[in-house]
Amino acid sequence: MLDAKGFEKAMKNSEFVLFKIAEAKAGDNIIVIGDSDSYQNDLLFCHCAKKHGINAMRIDLDIYGGEEGYDNLPIMEPLRQAIFAADISFMTTPQVKTSFSHFLGSQSSGDTALTGAGKRYIFEIDGLDKWDLNEEEVMLNRKRALALYSWLKKADEVHVTTPKGTDFKVKVGNEPDGMYPVMGIIPFYSEVAIVPKIGTANGVVVSDGASERTYNQRCFPIRPNIPGYRELNREPMKMVYENSVLVEYSGDPVQVERFDTLMEKVNPKPNLCDELGLVTTTSAENNIYGWKVDESHQRHCVHVAIGNNSNRKEIIHSTEHVDFDVHNPIVKVDGKVIYDGEKFNDELIFSMVD
């Protein structure tokens, strides 16, 4: 049962998401796409919207999709049209189990939602009545992603190193096949996702953090950080890239065996560098409430993804796309340190914006 303090906090946090992030206004029509896990928080969020003159409707996916059905959702035209017709859409189902691509029928629709385009948001609503939001920090994280994206479009190279052995470079500027500010996973997460042009990603990646689940999030991660199954104390996964091709990997024998299985089962083989993700969020809540299915994509990290994206200029993700976290990296853009393993050099980043 929610007490008065929890209700007040939920209303305050809902107002922040509605008005500061989604820029909603009275009279807007919004939909919230949720399931049984998000039910209570969805209702609180919709209550807040109604209180401010926003028309809110909740769409329940439990019978339509549900925990077991998310992998094979049929495209339902009324749901598609509801998303297209809404001023703002919030998906509160687990974003690593389903996505807007399931509802709209294309991978590009899901990836577009990651940027926040079309006012479609992946809303990690868990903890709505518990967050102690630092609103200024969250907005700074988002502003930082946009500023860094602007700089990278005219820069030459990103260089990532760590004391554990990562020494990895990708070309940016006019070189990437794609580059996107990820602003649509709210309220805490933000990043710049670089899809390197084939041939421009080189070096060693030492992943001491978690990896995403494999096989489109259906199978156990190669490097899990799931409560009860944490394996981050094991030897980090070492991956070597030459001209964007993964030519070698090594690490803990159990994790290497999972990696081998991925390479054997997936066709085309996911042996390219699909992405370098520069995480710009510093909010502690991101680690507590976000990405709960595998505990990857934490703050103070970058991630490097394997895959085999056949549509690199238009979308971020290939059919099989697995991110590996690298914790506390030193990140340089054209030789200038933008992240020292603990904090961003915001003065430098914002000074580079036109």
Confidence of residue 69 (pLDDT cuts 50, 70, 90): low
Note the pLDDT of residue 165. Answer: 98
Note the pLDDT of residue 62. Answer: 85
Identify whether 72 is part of a domain. Answer: yes
For residue 307, give the nearest of 259, 338, 274 by alpha carbon: 274
Q: Is the pLDDT of residue 255 over 90?
A: yes
Q: Is the pLDDT of residue 71 over 70?
A: no
Same domain as 96, residue 40 = yes
CB contact at 8 A, 200 and 244? yes
Note the pLDDT of residue 118. Answer: 85
**Structural domain ending residue among the three candidates 64, 94, 123:** 123
3-state SS assignment for residue 218: coil
Note the pLDDT of residue 112. Answer: 80
Same domain as 84, residue 165 = no
* Rounded CA separation 251/280 (Å): 28
**Structural domain ending residue among the three candidates 123, 144, 174:** 123
**Whole-number average pLDDT of the chain:** 92
Whether residue 268 is preceded by a cis peptide bond, meaning omega within 30 degrees of 0, is yes
Q: Is the pLDDT of residue 70 over 90?
A: no
- How does pLDDT run across 286-332, given as a tens digit for each residue? 999 988 878 899 999 999 999 988 777 776 777 789 999 999 999 99
Note the pLDDT of residue 66. Answer: 63
Identify whether 130 is part of a domain. Answer: no
Same domain as 92, residue 23 = yes
Same domain as 182, residue 82 = no
CB contact at 8 A, 141 and 341? no
Residue with the two structure tokens 């697995």: 322
Same domain as 289, residue 177 = yes
Same domain as 139, residue 104 = no
Identify whether 196 is part of a domain. Answer: yes
3-state DSSP percent of the chain in helix, strand and coil, to 5 = 30, 30, 40
**Structural domain ending residue among the three candidates 72, 88, 123:** 123
CA distances for 250 relative to 168, 237, 239, 259, angstroms = 16, 6, 7, 9
Same domain as 281, residue 204 = yes
For residue 12, give the nearest of 187, 185, 142, 183 by alpha carbon: 187
Same domain as 84, residue 16 = yes
Same domain as 159, residue 19 = no
Determine how β-strand 29-34 pairs with β-strand 55-60: parallel
* Rounded CA separation 42/306 (Å): 34
User: What residue numbers bound the domain in which 344 lies?
Assistant: 135-351
Give burial (CB, 10 Å; 0-12/13-18/19+) of 131. Answer: buried
What's the total number of domains in the chain? 2
Same domain as 140, residue 92 = no
Lowest-confidence segment of 93-102, 148-157, 167-176 by average pLDDT: 93-102
Q: 11 pairs with which residues across the strands?
A: none
3-state SS assignment for residue 147: helix
Same domain as 345, residue 230 = yes
Answer yes or no: pTM beyond 0.75: yes
